[in-house]
Structure 1
Amino acid sequence: MARKTVTDLFIHELSDVYSAEKQITRALPRMARATTNPLLAQAFNDHLEETQGQIERIDTLVEVAGIKLKRMKCIAMEGLVEESKELIEEIEKGAVLDAGLIGAAQKVEHYEIASYGTLIAMAKHLNLGDEVVGLLLATLKEEKATDEKLSKIAEQGGNQAATMES
């Protein structure tokens, strides 16, 4: 579908982030298994639950807004997920891998933060209503909170342990 209008673009971007969220649900368990840091494993598992809720939120948004998502694959997220797979394959389990996984997860969060921020602006422009904007805002807040949690894990020793190993 050609993106000729802001509505077309909104549907494309929402479809893209929907695909991204689905890909993340498959990547997070692998990342949780790869880490040796229990706090990081818990953060990945917590975010998996959150992500499943975010997918449900998009389903609700689609219903409320009366739109149909496009079947597509988020290529950006595919690349970010692939980077995390490479880390797991190339780095021995331990603090260095944990530091790499934190970085990989934060790249994902930053992508999602940018995506949801854009969708919120478009939803407001399109006058899709407070419910649609609220659903998107709820997810944006969760993504920002996850990013902050990952930063705290890194600052509380995750990256220091990696420095000690190198």
Structure 2
Amino acid sequence: MTTTTPTEMFERELQKLYHAELEILDLHADLAAAAATDDVAALFTDHEADTVEQIHRIERIFEELDEPPEAEGSPVMEGILTEKDEIVSTDVPPELRDLDVLSTGMMNERFEITVLDRLLLLATDLDLPDEITTELATNRQEAKAALTAMEAIVERRRLEDG
């Protein structure tokens, strides 16, 4: 699909976000299973309910736009999934495994935040209803909270090792 209008860009980005959230359910389960420590595993398993609710919010946005939910992949998300596949199939020491798992999780959350920021800007430009911007903003807050939790573990470990 050629994107020539802000509305088309909004729809494309929403489809990308929907695809990413659907993939994240499996991504987080795989990262939790690959984690070497309980705190890192819990970070990903605890985020599952948030991801399910984020998917529901996106579906409500599609409904508000009177569009069927449609997922469209992106090269960035495919790269994150490829990274995850490599991590879970590689045998590395536990401290490196957790760093790999956390780094992949942080890349994913940053991608989500970037897409959500773009959607929020477009929603404002398009003067979309508050219901849509509220759903997007809530998803962004949750993605930011997940990223912050991952960064906190990395920082704590850096300080412990320093």
Alignment-mate amino acid for residue 151 of structure 1 = E
Per the TM alignment, residue 91 of structure 1 is displaced from its structure 2 partner at its CA by 3.6
Q: Does 1:110 align with 2:110?
A: yes
Alignment-derived partner of residue 89 in structure 1: 89
1:57 is paired with a residue whose SS is helix
Give the deviation of 1:69 after TM superposition: 4.3
Q: Deviation above 4 Å: which 4+ runs of structure 1? A: none
Moved more, 134-143 or 80-89: 80-89
| 8 Å Cα contact 1:11-1:70 kept in structure 2 | no
Q: Deviations over 1:6-45 (max 9, x none)?
A: 1011001100111011111111111101112111111101
Give the C-alpha shift of residue 93 in structure 1.
5.0
TM-score normalised to the size of structure 2? Answer: 0.92
Query: Are 1:22 and 2:18 an aligned pair?
Result: no
How far apart in 2 are the matches of 1:6 and 1:69? 19
User: Is there any run of 5+ residues in structure 1 with no aligned partner, and where?
Assistant: none
Pairwise CA distance, 1:153: 1.2
Question: What's the % identity of the aligned pairs?
Answer: 27
For 1:130-151, what per-residue CA distance to the aligned partner results, in whole angstroms no more than 9, with x for missing partners? 1100000000000100010001
**1:160 Cα offset (Å):** 6.4
Root-mean-square deviation (CA), in Å? 1.8
Residue number in structure 1 paired with 2:140? 140
Provide the rounded CA distance (Å) in 2 between the counterparts of 1:32 and 1:70.
27
Partner residue in 2 for 1:77: 77
Tell me the number of residue pairs that the alignment of Structure 1 and Structure 2 aligns: 162
Is residue 63 of structure 2 the alignment partner of residue 48 of structure 1? no
Q: Provide the rounded CA distance (Å) in 2 between the counterparts of 1:94 and 1:119.
A: 37
CA contact (8 A) 1:34 1:93 kept: no
| Conservation of the 8 A alpha-carbon contact between 1:16 and 1:74 | yes
Distance 1:63 1:70 in 2: 11
| SS in structure 1 of the partner of residue 72 of structure 2 | coil
Q: Secondary structure of 1:90's match? A: coil
Distance in 1 (alpha carbons) for counterparts of 2:71 and 2:44: 26
Q: Partner residue of 1:154?
A: 154
Match of 2:123 in 1: 123
